[in-house]
């Protein structure tokens, strides 16, 4: 008789997916995530978001291999795969047209094959995809690609770069969260993107949020750009409690930061690299799958977070109590709930809205016009709640009747409201 040992899924994977490159990090527990390197003895973390189909065959090359074989004239280089998938388009390769989403799934599959040199996929519990923007369309495309990948027993999660920055800092030493934290990213000479992570210690739990600013049209001359960056840093940091800063991107590797870097390092901890977002996404997957005691002390108020608790008052037994429907703090594109209720009387349900920012509690009543008149507690309804934007709640209600006694009328109601 053979005893088959069950696989203990321990790994959390962070997948930073962008239109020009991607990076993959993974972790077990709270250990510092490891980033997949294309070269064992060097930190080459970025995988070009490229595919190449070998002419006259069904063979595909990925990443650096795609660029190499296309350069050798063996096939046509396929780029902007993510952008094409978001627009719902097709891509032509070697005279044949392919769904951009299917090619995105192929690219992700090949990247995960690279990861398998270090981590078996059957040991992966969750993959957190992160990107500069993670909206409803991006999630839809990644979910569709995920279905094509058919990753058995692996949960796919989604967050934007701001959330990955927050999650990275959540797992750092407490001292690094005592003051403002800055992140500067430069992937083009004339542009620097800035994130400012701020904590409000006067709330319980402590609320953290990220403010984003982009500085464009910077000088191509290194000396002038150094001065411009110094001016940015001086405006942002002068007189402010800034404890640490991160410099990300290839643009910061050219050695042009002399005056600006000297100023930034005065009394502040400065880190340079380019894999923070994939590491933060790995931590984000860990926090989602195995919430930490540290995470319970903080609350991230990101741009994609639902900022209002939504519920209603319902009778349980003989007592009326608040019943939660959607909780503030979840990503709006993941917020959904369906539940059946029995109406006591009338043809209305009243939602209670409680803003997380301490604003006034409000109520919203939905009238179920043309609902058949029935005795008390003999109408069952099915209510589905979802978000169509960070502040747009969509409610769909169906009359289910009450068994064989009062058949369903088949009527449905739809309402959208601001929250």
What gap in Å lies between CA 30 and CA 308, rounded to an integer? 31
Q: 11-159: CATH homologous superfamily?
A: ATPase, nucleotide binding domain (3.30.420.40)
More confident residue, 29 or 63: 63
Owner of token pair 């970025």:
46
406 DSSP assignment: B
For the chain, give the mean pLDDT. 92
pLDDT of residue 65 exceeding 60: yes
Do domains 164-300 and 308-418 share one topology? The answer is no
Q: What is the mean pLDDT of residues 134-162?
A: 94
Residue 172 has pLDDT above 80, yes or no: yes
User: Cα–chain-centroid distance for residue 139?
Assistant: 8
pLDDT, residue 39, reads: 87
When pLDDT is averaged across residues 302-311 and rounded to a whole number, the result is: 91
Which fold does the domain 308-418 belong to in CATH?
Answer: Substrate Binding Domain Of DNAk; Chain A, domain 1 (2.60.34)
**Model pLDDT, residue 289:** 94
Going by pLDDT thresholds of 50, 70 and 90, the confidence category of residue 20 is very high
In this structure, the strands spanning 180-188 and 155-160 are: unpaired
CATH code given to domain 164-300: 3.30.420.40
Give the whole-number percent of the chain exceeding pLDDT 90. 74
φ, ψ for residue 278, nearest 5 deg: -70, -35
Q: Is the peptide bond before 205 cis (omega within 30 degrees of 0)?
A: yes
Q: How long, in residues, is the chain?
A: 419
The model's pTM is 0.87
Q: Out of 123-132, 183-192, 212-221, give the one with best mean pLDDT.
A: 123-132
At residue 172's C-alpha, the angle toward residues 166 and 178, to 5°, is 80
Q: Where are the domains of the chain?
A: 11-159, 164-300, 308-418
The answer to whether residues 59 and 53 touch, using CB atoms and an 8 Å cutoff, is yes
DSSP label at 84?
H
Each residue's pLDDT tens digit, 378-398: 999 999 999 998 999 999 999
């Amino acid at each position: 008789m053979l005893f088959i040992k069950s696989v203990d899924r321990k790994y959390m994977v962070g997948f930073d997916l962008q239109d020009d490159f991607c990076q993959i990090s993974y972790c077990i527990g709270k250990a510092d995530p490891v980033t997949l390197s294309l070269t064992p003895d060097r930190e080459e973390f970025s995988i070009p978001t490229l595919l190449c189909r070998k002419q006259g065959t069904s063979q595909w090359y990925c990443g650096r291999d795609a660029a190499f074989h296309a350069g050798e004239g063996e096939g046509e280089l396929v780029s902007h795969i993510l952008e094409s998938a978001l627009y719902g388009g097709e891509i032509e390769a070697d005279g044949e047209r392919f769904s951009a989403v299917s090619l995105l799934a192929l690219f992700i599959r090949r990247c995960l094959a690279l990861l398998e040199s270090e981590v078996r996929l059957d040991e992966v519990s969750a993959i957190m995809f992160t990107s500069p923007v993670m909206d409803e369309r991006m999630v839809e495309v990644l979910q569709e690609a995920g279905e094509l990948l058919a990753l058995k027993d692996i949960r796919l999660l989604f967050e934007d770069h701001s959330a990955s920055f927050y999650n990275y800092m959540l797992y750092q030493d407490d001292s690094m969260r005592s003051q403002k934290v800055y992140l500067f990213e430069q992937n083009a000479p004339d542009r620097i993107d800035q994130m400012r992570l701020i904590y409000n210690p006067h709330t319980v739990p402590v609320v953290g949020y990220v403010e984003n600013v982009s500085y464009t049209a910077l000088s191509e001359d290194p000396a002038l750009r150094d001065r411009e960056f110094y001016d940015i840093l001086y405006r942002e940091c002068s007189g402010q409690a800034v404890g640490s800063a991160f410099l990300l991107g290839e643009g910061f590797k050219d050695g042009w930061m002399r005056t600006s870097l000297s100023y930034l390092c005065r009394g502040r901890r400065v880190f340079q690299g380019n894999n923070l977002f994939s590491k933060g996404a790995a931590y984000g997957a860990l926090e989602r799958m195995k919430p930490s005691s540290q995470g319970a002390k903080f609350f991230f108020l990101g741009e994609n977070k639902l900022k209002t608790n939504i519920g209603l008052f319902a009778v349980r037994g003989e007592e009326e109590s608040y019943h939660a429907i959607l909780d503030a703090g979840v990503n709006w594109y993941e917020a959904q709930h369906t539940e059946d209720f029995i109406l006591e009387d009338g043809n209305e349900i009243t939602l209670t809205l409680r803003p997380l920012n301490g604003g006034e509690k409000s109520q919203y009543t939905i009238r179920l016009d043309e609902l058949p008149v029935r005795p008390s507690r003999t109408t069952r309804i099915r209510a589905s709640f979802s978000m169509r934007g960070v502040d747009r709640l969509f409610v769909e209600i169906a009359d289910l009747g009450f068994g064989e006694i009062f058949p369903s009328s088949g009527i449905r109601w739809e309402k959208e409201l601001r929250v």
